[in-house]
């Protein structure tokens, strides 16, 4: 799925990151369109990683003032950045959609064999379907209104609307975090005409440049508008979040013990 020379370059950059910042990378994955399953030929490689500092790094008065991200400029289509594990776990507690997608990515570059597995095991307890629905609804609405209501539209934006709408259907049906692969959430769709249009769009997207414009697709627009209208007044059940932080504290302590 990832060209071997590109993978080697990515692994080399991750190793240099550990040396430069004196950290240990717990996991590194592909996010974005390549992980979702609808990359264009010229899509960037969106590498995201979680790292841990030495235990003493966290034992300071001004911890909150320390920088807890590592970011690089995009070079050779490789977009590489990561979060400190404490930051990541605090965001996990809030059902941060980026972190939830990272731990589910089907494309892995680095994995310490402990952190990601533990986070995935906690996902059913930590994740809030309520927050997931709000996030996906906002994402779909923003991308539809911002890009898909003209005669000529960027084709890739359909996926930034359809994937969140299908993910909401997953949340409504299963009550668990939606998988990030587009084909998996698409499996819930039973309308054959809609499926045909989506599959044709997928084939076009995989051979088109990222910024390609094409005529809007009426079948998809009608479906999107009907779903957005339905979601305006959706009743979303609240989630009990009583024990979550204790579980995350335990995972944080385990990570630190493993590098002591």
The domain ranges of the chain are 4-127+241-259, 129-231
Q: Kind and range of the H or E element at 82? A: strand 78-84
Q: Residue 41: which pLDDT band, with cuts at 50, 70 and 90?
A: confident
When pLDDT is averaged across residues 10-38 and rounded to a whole number, the result is: 97
When pLDDT is averaged across residues 93-117 and rounded to a whole number, the result is: 97
Q: What is the pLDDT of residue 209?
A: 80
Sign of CA dihedral 158, 164, 168, 173: positive
Side-chain-side CA neighbours of residue 13 (13 Å):
24
The pair of structure tokens assigned to 113 is 């064999």
DSSP-assigned beta bridge partners for residue 143: none
Quick check: 89 and 10 in contact, CB under 8 A? Answer: no
Quick check: 164 and 136 in contact, CB under 8 A? Answer: yes
* Percent of the chain as helix, strand, coil, to the nearest 5: 55, 15, 30
- What is the number of helices (H) and of strands (E) in the chain? 11, 7
Q: Is the pLDDT of residue 260 over 80?
A: no
Q: What is the pLDDT of residue 23?
A: 98
Quick check: 159 and 139 in contact, CB under 8 A? Answer: no
The pair of structure tokens assigned to 56 is 């003493």
Q: What is the pLDDT of residue 113?
A: 94
**pLDDT tens per residue, range 139-195:** 999 999 999 999 999 999 999 999 999 999 999 999 999 999 999 999 999 999 999
Q: What percent of the chain has pLDDT over 70?
A: 97
Q: What is the pLDDT of residue 4?
A: 95
Distance CA 100, CA 214 (A): 32
Query: Whole-number mean pLDDT of the chain?
Result: 94
- Among 132, 134, 155, 130, smallest CA distance to 212 is for 155
Distance CA 182, CA 198 (A): 11
Class level of CATH domain 4-127+241-259: alpha beta
Q: Is the pLDDT of residue 58 over 60?
A: yes
Pairing mode, strands 213-215 and 24-31:
unpaired
Distance CA 193, CA 1 (A): 29
């Amino acid at each position: 799925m990832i060209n071997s020379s590109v993978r080697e370059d990515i692994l080399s950059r991750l190793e240099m990151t550990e040396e430069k910042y004196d950290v240990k990378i717990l996991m590194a994955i592909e996010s974005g369109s390549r992980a979702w399953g609808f990359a264009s030929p010229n899509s960037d490689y969106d590498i995201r990683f979680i790292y841990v500092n030495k235990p003493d790094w966290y034992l300071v008065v001004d911890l909150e003032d320390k920088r807890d991200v590592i970011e690089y400029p995009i070079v050779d289509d490789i977009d590489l950045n990561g979060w400190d594990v404490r930051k990541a776990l605090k965001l996990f507690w809030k059902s941060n959609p980026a972190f939830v997608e990272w731990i589910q990515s089907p494309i892995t570059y680095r994995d310490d064999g402990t952190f990601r597995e533990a986070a995935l095991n906690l996902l059913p307890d930590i994740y809030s379907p309520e927050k997931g629905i709000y996030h996906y609804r906002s994402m779909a609405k923003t991308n539809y209104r911002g890009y898909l209501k003209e005669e000529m539209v960027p084709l890739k934006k359909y996926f930034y609307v359809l994937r969140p709408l299908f993910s909401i259907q997953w949340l409504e049906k299963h009550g668990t975090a939606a998988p990030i692969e587009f084909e998996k959430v698409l499996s819930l769709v039973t309308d054959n005409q809609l499926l045909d249009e989506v599959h044709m769009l997928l084939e076009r997207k995989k051979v088109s440049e990222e910024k390609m414009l094409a005529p809007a697709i009426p079948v998809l627009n009608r479906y999107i508008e009907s779903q957005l209208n339905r979601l305006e007044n959706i009743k979303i059940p609240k989630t009990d979040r009583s024990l979550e932080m204790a579980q995350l504290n335990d995972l944080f302590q385990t990570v630190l013990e493993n590098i002591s």
